[in-house]
């Protein structure tokens, strides 16, 4: 299902080609998240440089650095027109700015750490690259391109079934239990879908002990454990196998464990704040809908 949704998203944006007489786009994506967005916008074939820990691009594309370190020699060899970087709130490196001025590079520092920021980054990248391709900085598709509608659809309220699934805990890691709490884009996504998220206080990442888990008493738990990029999906784990991952905490008498409402999302991009959240949102909605329809496991036949 996740792969189908990704395919549908990619189909929304066809590979972009420059207008006659316009120079070819040459993009360096110095962020795994931004590379996913650029790919989903249809500009993958114009990417000439990547982040060292990129998740989706062809490994043969030259690496031009990583967070905190830029390989300027490799960067110069790519001869880019655009550089998209995720550098946080800190000032961009003076050397990068000097080279950008000297070579007329467009450099954009984007930090998609929330759903709104993912939308803003996608719109900013699309507008910049579309304007360069057409040669008209004022020209941009109207109405909004399909990917924008798709993002808004993905993280919108999915109806009463989301609430009916009860209190939902999202975790990344089970030993210790790492809750994706308030401030994380995952919990934000869960709330946008119309579900009830726990915990309701704390930071984006919260370490829970057994007592904390018992106190929260979630009705459902979704585990995020991305498999390696480009690896095939393994056979689905059973709820009992997933509960066993919690060790002794898995013996707690809480609704999620009693009703076997524990699920796994292992998509390689499921922890990367980008347009990859579109299929993740659809998968979460599917899981919660199933739990709402089946509040307790079916009785075993004698």
47-50, Cβ contacts within 8 angstroms, sequence gap of 24 or more: 48/78, 48/79, 48/80, 49/74, 49/75, 49/78, 49/80, 49/83
User: What's the mean per-residue pLDDT of the chain?
Assistant: 89
Asked whether the beta carbons of 284 and 188 are under 8 A apart, the reply is no
Give the pLDDT band (50/70/90) at residue 132. confident
Residue 12, pLDDT score: 45
Q: 214-238 pLDDT, tens per residue?
A: 999 999 999 999 999 989 989 999 9
Count CB-CB contacts under 10 A for residue 271: 18
Count CB-CB contacts under 10 A for residue 45: 12
Q: 6-47 pLDDT, tens per residue?
A: 444 443 445 555 555 557 899 999 999 999 999 999 999 999
Q: 260-281 pLDDT, tens per residue?
A: 999 999 999 999 999 999 999 9
The structural domains of the chain, ordered by start, are: 2-153 (3.40.50.1980), 158-293 (3.40.50.1980)
């Amino acid at each position: 299902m996740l792969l189908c949704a990704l395919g549908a998203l990619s189909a929304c944006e066809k590979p972009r080609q420059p207008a006659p007489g316009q120079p070819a786009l040459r993009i360096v994506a110095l962020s795994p998240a931004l590379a996913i967005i650029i790919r989903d916008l249809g500009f993958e074939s114009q990417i000439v440089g990547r982040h060292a820990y990129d998740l989706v691009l062809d490994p043969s594309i030259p690496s031009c650095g990583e967070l905190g370190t830029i390989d300027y020699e490799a960067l110069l060899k790519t001869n880019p027109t655009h550089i998209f970087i995720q550098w946080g709130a800190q000032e961009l490196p003076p050397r990068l700015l000097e080279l950008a001025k000297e070579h007329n590079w467009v450099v954009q520092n984007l930090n998609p750490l929330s759903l709104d920021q993912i939308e803003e980054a996608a719109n900013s990248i699309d507008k910049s690259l579309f304007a360069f391709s057409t040669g008209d900085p004022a020209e941009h598709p109207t109405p909004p391109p399909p990917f924008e509608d798709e993002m808004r659809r993905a993280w919108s309220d999915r109806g009463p079934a989301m609430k009916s699934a009860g209190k939902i805990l999202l975790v990344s890691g089970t030993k210790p239990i790492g809750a994706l709490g308030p401030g994380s884009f995952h919990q934000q996504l869960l709330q946008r879908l119309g579900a009830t998220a726990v915990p309701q206080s704390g930071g984006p990442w919260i370490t829970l002990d057994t007592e904390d888990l018992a106190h929260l008493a979630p009705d459902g738990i979704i585990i995020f454990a991305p498999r390696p990029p480009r690896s095939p999906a393994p056979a689905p784990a059973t709820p009992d196998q997933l509960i066993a991952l919690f060790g002794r905490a898995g013996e707690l008498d809480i609704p999620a464990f009693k009703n076997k409402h524990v699920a796994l999302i292992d998509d390689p991009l499921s922890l990367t704040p980008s347009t990859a959240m579109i299929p993740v949102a659809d998968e979460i909605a599917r899981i919660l809908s199933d739990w709402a329809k089946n509040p307790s496991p079916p009785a075993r036949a004698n």
